[in-house]
Amino acid sequence: LRCLDLSQVDSLPIYEEVQIALAASNMDPDELEDEEEMVEVSGQPKEEIRSEKVKTNQYDDVIAAPRSSIDRSKLSTKKQDFQVRVNIHEGRKLLGGNIHPVCNVHVGKQSKHTRVQKSTNKPLWDEVLFFDFNCSALDLCDEPVTIEVLNSRKIRSDSLIGAFKFDLGLVYESQDHQFVHKWVLLTDPEDKESGAKGYVKISISILGPGDKLKIPPKSSSTDDLVDIESNLLRPAGVQLQPATYTVKIYKAEDVPKMDTDYFEGMKRVLRMQHGDHDLVDPYMIVSFAGKKLKTKVLYKTYTPEWAQELNIGVQMPSMCEQLMLRLMDKDHFNRDD
């Protein structure tokens, strides 16, 4: 700050007083335009009102998923009976060794839990928990949901593995007011930068008066073929580690004949096949976490040699556990075999 002779300030107009104050702080008068509402005529700043978040439970500080964008003004304020059904399907990649995971679900002030699964990092619960509410749709959408997984211990208290929190409005604004086979990423409430602690697959349905439940399909081994990463709910600000899987495809041997005699004749008529040439046009498809890449097609060979490298971008840790390789035959008249 520059030193000023304040004995001369009383004799100056208010405008010049403000100019002197700006000069003392090295501010441009144009920078004060945004602050005009906070300055009175006397030049004394008004007291700024700051609001502080009231902590209601230990999970208020969990990095949560983005709140729903539903227009609350269109929701009914009339009290009705609602039922929230939470289906806990399974967990994967849970952090820890020789753990006994149990899943606790908190919806509003109600809490329920699944059975304990013994000694596994990949528990299969497949349980449905019911929560009943008598409130308006507006109030229901503000109810918080917390999914937490703990390591069950007999002597000591259960230890938290990870948790995920969101509000019911996120479910209510979805199609048919339900989540179907959504994966949620668990994090540690005490250490938000420690990364992923595991994943849990859930389905949630909100039933109001007159609503009919659409039962979600059961989990199957083919679920890894869908795009898991696009079906993942993760806390805002939590970044997964990008990685690349490199699959090198060299060659194949003894590829069986795929085209029937009928298609063989068609190819010869159209001059697409001559003499006793091979009838196989092989290529490879690599599938992982819903992503598919394929090699080039090699025509008329039973022993293709691709010598090709396929790179699949993924987010780590990934809950996908299956890498599928498929050998295909290119067909011009029918679906590829």
pLDDT of residue 119: 93
- Cut 0.85: pTM above it: no
Show the tokens assigned to 287.
């599938």
Residue that has been written with the tokens 């004749």 in this structure: 265
* Distance of alpha carbon 7 from alpha carbon 105, whole angstroms: 69
- Stretch 40-48: mean pLDDT: 41
Interacting residues of 197 by C-beta distance below 8 A, sequence separation 6+: 94, 95, 149, 161, 162, 186, 187, 188
pLDDT digits (tens, 9 = 90+) for 194-232: 788 999 999 999 999 888 877 766 665 555 556 666 788
pLDDT of residue 56: 40
Helix (H) or strand (E) holding 248: strand 241-251
- Stretch 319-337: mean pLDDT: 81
pLDDT of residue 314: 82
| DSSP letter assigned to residue 191 | B
pLDDT of residue 69: 62
pLDDT digits (tens, 9 = 90+) for 125-154: 999 999 999 999 999 999 999 999 999 987
Please provide the DSSP assignment of 73-120 as one string.
GGS--S-EEEEEEEEEEEEES-SSSS--EEEEEEETTEEEE-PPPPS-
Interacting residues of 275 by C-beta distance below 8 A, sequence separation 6+: none
In Å, how far from its chain's centre is CA 125? 21
**Percentage of the chain modeled with pLDDT above 90:** 38
**Which among 163, 180, 230, 198 has a CA at the least distance from the CA of 319?**
198
Helix (H) or strand (E) holding 268: helix 261-269
| pLDDT over 90 (residue 315) | no
pLDDT of residue 40: 38
- Stretch 22-50: mean pLDDT: 42
